[in-house]
Structures are given as structure tokens and as C-alpha cells.
Amino acid sequence: MARFSALALGLALACAGVAAQSFPPEQVRKGADLYATHCATCHGPRLANPPWAADLRTFPREDRARFVDTVTYGKKGMPPWDDVLKPDDIEALWAYVVAGEGKKP
Ligand code: HEC
């Protein structure tokens, strides 16, 4: 029975993941730290009130590829990060942005 519930829970999470996308808390936390260090100066503390860069709270959730591209190679006023951040770091930032500041563990 326990095994069945675990399976059902797994399925429920997998389905919810499509809509809400869930990430391991430690990945979101890592992204939050990286964000505070590298991104908050332009994008605002905790994603809020960006002084002059794009508001990441409104970044399209289905557009992970664009996020990774922009962060890696830069875009107009947005600097490239490929010499500072590893792909793992960028994934963590994506987790943080998508999981949302409000839902931060
Ligand atoms: C020097 C200021 C600055 C820093 C630091 C910065 N950004 Fe940006 N960012 C910008 C600006 C300006 C834009 C708007 C670019 C444009 O004109 O489309 C932007 C846009 C973006 C976008 C949206 C791009 C799109 O396709 O709509 C993302 C995602 C993003 N930044 C992520 C990050 C992340 C993650 C970090 C930290 C690693 C970061 N930025 C650090 C200035 C900055």
C-alpha cells in the first residue's frame, strides 16, 4: 500500500510539474544565492522592482531555452555570464526564477 501511494504521489507530482514545475529546494536555494550575488543589482532584490532591467517575475515559464541563452550570451543591456556561471548555475537560477520568490523554501 505504501508503495502504491508513493507511486500515486509521484504521478501527481509529475502531472503538477507540467503546470507548476517543481525543483529540488536546494537547487532553488543555490539559484537564490547566485541571483543575489550576480543579478539583483540590475533585476532588483528578490526579483522585485528591477531598477532598469527586465522584470523576471513575468518571464515566460515555458521559455527555458531563451532564459539560458540570454543569461549565457547576454542581450543588449544584459551582460553575458558564460565566463562566470556554469550550466549548473544557470539551471539553478532558472529554478529560482520559475519556482518564484514567494515559493522559496
Ligand atoms: C548590468 C545589469 C544586469 C545584470 C547584472 C543582469 N542583467 Fe539580466 N537584463 C539586464 C537588462 C538591461 C535586460 C533587458 C535586455 C533587453 O533589452 O532585452 C535584461 C534581461 C534579462 C532577461 C530577459 C531576457 C529576455 O529574453 O527577455 C533575463 C532572463 C535575465 N536578464 C536574467 C539575468 C540573470 C539570471 C542575471 C544574473 C546572472 C542577470 N540577468 C544579470 C541587465 C542585467
Q: Is the pLDDT of residue 6 over 70?
A: no
Interval 62-88 mean pLDDT: 97
Give me ligand 1 centre to Cα 54, in Å.
Answer: 6
For residue 66, the ligand 1 atom closest to its alpha carbon is 26
pLDDT of residue 10: 53
Which of 20, 41, 35 shows the shortest CA–CA distance to 98? 20
Q: Residue 54 burial by CB count (10 A; 0-12/13-18/19+): exposed, middle or buried?
A: middle
Q: Is the pLDDT of residue 67 over 60?
A: yes
C-alpha cell of residue 33: 544565492
Give me ligand 1 centre to Cα 13, in Å.
Answer: 31
Q: Are 90 and 81 in contact (CB under 8 A)?
A: yes
Q: Are 40 and 46 in contact (CB under 8 A)?
A: yes
Ligand 1 pocket, 72 CB below 6 A? no
Q: Are 54 and 43 in contact (CB under 8 A)?
A: yes
List CB contacts of 51: < 8 A, sequence separation 6 or more.
42, 44
